[in-house]
Structure 1
Amino acid sequence: MASRKRTMVSDSASEFSLDIYKAITRSSNNDNLFMAPTSIWIVMAMVNVGARNVTREQIEAALKLRFKDEEVMLDEFEKFSKVLNQGNRKSVKLQVANRLYPYSGRSILPKYISTISQHFGTDVKPLDFESCPDESRISINNWVEEVTEQKIKNVLPDGSINSLTRLAIVNAIYFKGNWAMPFKRRNTRDRDFHLIDGGIVQVPMMTIVQEELKYDENSELGCKVLHLPYEGDDLTMVIILPTEIDGLLELETRLDSQALLKIIDDVFFRRVEVYLPKFKLESSFALSKTLSALGMVDAFSRDEADLSGMGTDLYVSNVFHKAFVDVNEKGSEAAAATAAAVIERCPPPRPRKFKADHPFLFLIWDFKLRVPLFIGRYMHPPSQSSSTHR
């Protein structure tokens, strides 16, 4: 798997990803979480193109944008967005839905629309929020549902759009990938999972022994790191498992973008015995307060927002995000056929044990972009209802 040189865009996206993840986990009541922070970063970068003066300074600081030349920045965004929005990859379903919905009663500058279309590969669809707020909400939800193959529904909850809405930014992602080295369903069985509060519950635990998986133990952060690649090798699930049962919260506070890159890169091929819960997670977010807390205050202020590069008298009413992930045993037949042991003349080395039987952090890492496309935490068996954060 070839490692690509990091860019300023990659660095900015990674730093923002951890910032917004930490901001949300601080108010999530130790719940499960799954999100696509890099995609949220791209959406707010689109807003930044139309922002001016203090509003723009705040957004750029929060997004960690350090470009001095705007044309260079837009060209880098274009390259980045093409990879992010390229659609399905080999045996991986990656559906990205993002759109700007301005109020149709306010004119959006043609230059802004053409810039966004050229450099971000997205579109702008005006809606009449003032006269038809709920119809507008339903229209947006229907579009997201269509793009994500009916997997993500009602990204905008009741009451999230009203007659005062002037701009809605909606992003949704559906992801499902096949392991390069699949688990066998017959090996999945209920096993103990230790909760942070000391409780123990039963979860369906997948099990496999693989001859070559990227793995390491980091004593400084007190964790084990495992790479589980998806087919195609562009995307890998990176699981960061604290050594201590109750160690996730401390690990999250200590983890920064440099430390994350280090533990992702500092791994070695090992023979590993893997225990991983089988689960589906879906999370919904209304992000205006979170993004404001990260410094983008004026963009969400009706009085202070300066989005004059986009149009007149505009402000961002909210940013809605919903993400879904399915982690199961499935893999391709071709990959399964290569899992047989080659040498039997001498006993294989004793496998390292990676037993995710207590709360852990996981990322779906994009080796093309060198950023975390998705980030989540598994705290307990998910309930039937999805996690919602406001």
Structure 2
Amino acid sequence: MSSCASKFSLDLLQHVVSQNPHGNLFMSPSSISVVMTMVQTGARNETRNQMISTLQFQSNDQLLIHADAEQFVKVLNKGSDHVILRSANRLYPNSDKGILEDYIKAVVKHFASDVKNVDFKLNPEGSRQEINKWVEEVTNEKIKNLLPSGSINSLTRMVIANAIYFKGNWAIQFEPKSTTQSDFHTLDGKSLKIDMMKREMKKVRYGENTALDCKVLHLPYIGDEMAMVVLLPNTVTGLLEMEKRINVKKINQCIEDVNSPTVKVSVPKFKLESSLQLSDTLSALGMPDVFDANKSDLSGMGKDLFVSEVFHKAFVDVNEEGTEAAAATAGTIVFFSAPPPPKIFTADHPFMFMIWLYPLKAPLFVGRYTGSTLEAAQSRDKL
């Protein structure tokens, strides 16, 4: 599921960015993919074909799809001895038994999902609050109010939810005393003051990618199973063009084509939050029928069902110690010689970043930092 997860991640990133080219963004394509794959388990005919194509599965064989999903969930649920990594899936079917038992059993088996029956008919608001409380608990209180007021009503038959939480300390931490106010140059030609973390790092994964015209830096977390991979364009306004040209092959080159020099690193200290509604985005990417009451075929799940909306929230805090990130989706590398001069990596203009899980060869989270103050407005817009 790794290569298809990376392809879907990029498709999703490119489409969402197109709606707000100058804004900050942070999200978890892995969380979104898991939820929509659970939905796909109940899809049939053209609805299923559209979902398989959009989610970039390498096969339309449900057995292989479920085998890949099981491996993906297994790696996530395994966690780590060095960082905090947890992921949970839960089905919230309505207590009237309208969701087929075979569907629930399949999701429980292949996605290690919990099941919690709720009464959407009699208590829609209480059900919404219960789901939000579960998400908040799994994400260490970083994702609140995933399902907004009014998103659940008496016609709701099931909510499919995934939550991911990550917290890891850098293998090479930044000294707080070295953090200084520095200029950051935005896409619209302006300059603003931000907190910039600075450190000279030895033997850090670093590369220069000509295809994407960018520098690549891996900032590893303790344990070296995960890293923040920063793709810094060589020009101040290069992010937009880089995002258009990026693909899975080029991402893999960024991950693999690195050496281990000494690098003078300067990266922003920042927090980002994004709140997205993804039905229009996923429809535009190729799965419109599942959101259309007249065309949706979720007969493997139950009768007369469609997905009304996919809600996604994500949070990231990058500081001197490390990174804390959370998201939820509801669908709802000797010769001894004089050392060379250190490389310079100064992220003082917009860049893309990923929290990369090496065992999966895929990003759990992707984002872009532009220094924009428009993220609050973006969070309110439906994409």
Q: Judge same fold: TM > 0.5, yes or no.
A: yes
Cα pair 1:215 1:267 within 8 Å, conserved? yes
Cα pair 1:226 1:240 within 8 Å, conserved? yes
Q: Which moved more, 1:276-285 or 1:378-387?
A: 378-387
Count of paired positions: 369
Runs of 5+ unmatched residues, structure 2: 324-335
Cα pair 2:186 2:372 within 8 Å, conserved? no
Match of 1:351 in 2: 342
Tell me how far 1:289 sits from its aligned partner: 1.1
The amino acid that maps onto 1:174 is Y
Matched, 1:14 2:2: no
Match of 2:168 in 1: 177
Deviations 1:306-343 (A, max 9, x none): 111111221111111112111111169xxxxxxxxxxx
Q: For 1:246, what is the secondary structure of its paired residue?
A: coil
Distance in 2, matches of 1:287 and 1:165, equals 18
* Residue 264 (structure 1) aligned to one of 252, 255, 260: 255
Match of 1:313 in 2: 304
TM-score by length of 1: 0.89
Matched, 1:164 2:155: yes
Match of 1:251 in 2: 242
Match of 1:40 in 2: 32
* Residue 359 (structure 2) aligned to one of 352, 368, 371: 368
Q: For 1:253, what is the secondary structure of its paired residue?
A: helix
Matched, 1:299 2:290: yes
Tell me how far 1:96 sits from its aligned partner: 2.5
How do 1:1-390 and structure 2 match up within 5 A? 9-87=1-79, 89-105=80-96, 107-330=98-321, 348-380=339-371, 388=379, 389-390=381-382
Deviations 1:343-367 (A, max 9, x none): xx98642110000000000001110
Distance in 2, matches of 1:317 and 1:353, equals 48
Cα pair 1:18 1:256 within 8 Å, conserved? yes
Q: Summarize the Cα distance change of 1:316–1:225 in structure 2 as closer, same or farther, 3 Å threshold.
A: same
TM-score by length of 2: 0.91
Cα pair 2:89 2:111 within 8 Å, conserved? no
Tell me how far 1:138 sits from its aligned partner: 1.1
Q: Summarize the Cα distance change of 1:68–1:346 in structure 2 as closer, same or farther, 3 Å threshold.
A: closer
Runs of 5+ unmatched residues, structure 1: 1-8, 333-344
Tell me how far 1:381 sits from its aligned partner: 5.9
The amino acid that maps onto 2:343 is R
Q: Which moved more, 1:65-74 or 1:252-261?
A: 65-74
Q: Summarize the Cα distance change of 1:77–1:106 in structure 2 as closer, same or farther, 3 Å threshold.
A: same
Tell me how far 1:165 sits from its aligned partner: 2.8
Tell me how far 1:106 sits from its aligned partner: 5.0
Tell me how far 1:78 sits from its aligned partner: 0.8
Tell me how far 1:126 sits from its aligned partner: 3.4
Q: Summarize the Cα distance change of 1:243–1:279 in structure 2 as closer, same or farther, 3 Å threshold.
A: same
- Aligned-residue sequence identity (percent) comes to 51
Q: Which moved more, 1:254-263 or 1:345-354?
A: 345-354
Distance in 2, matches of 1:85 and 1:289, equals 30
Cα pair 2:184 2:348 within 8 Å, conserved? yes
Tell me how far 1:387 sits from its aligned partner: 5.1
Cα pair 1:362 1:375 within 8 Å, conserved? yes
Cα pair 2:23 2:374 within 8 Å, conserved? no
Cα pair 1:176 1:326 within 8 Å, conserved? no
Distance in 2, matches of 1:380 and 1:331, equals 20
Tell me how far 1:286 sits from its aligned partner: 1.4
Q: Summarize the Cα distance change of 1:275–1:381 in structure 2 as closer, same or farther, 3 Å threshold.
A: farther
Tell me how far 1:101 sits from its aligned partner: 2.7
The amino acid that maps onto 2:26 is F
Match of 2:327 in 1: none
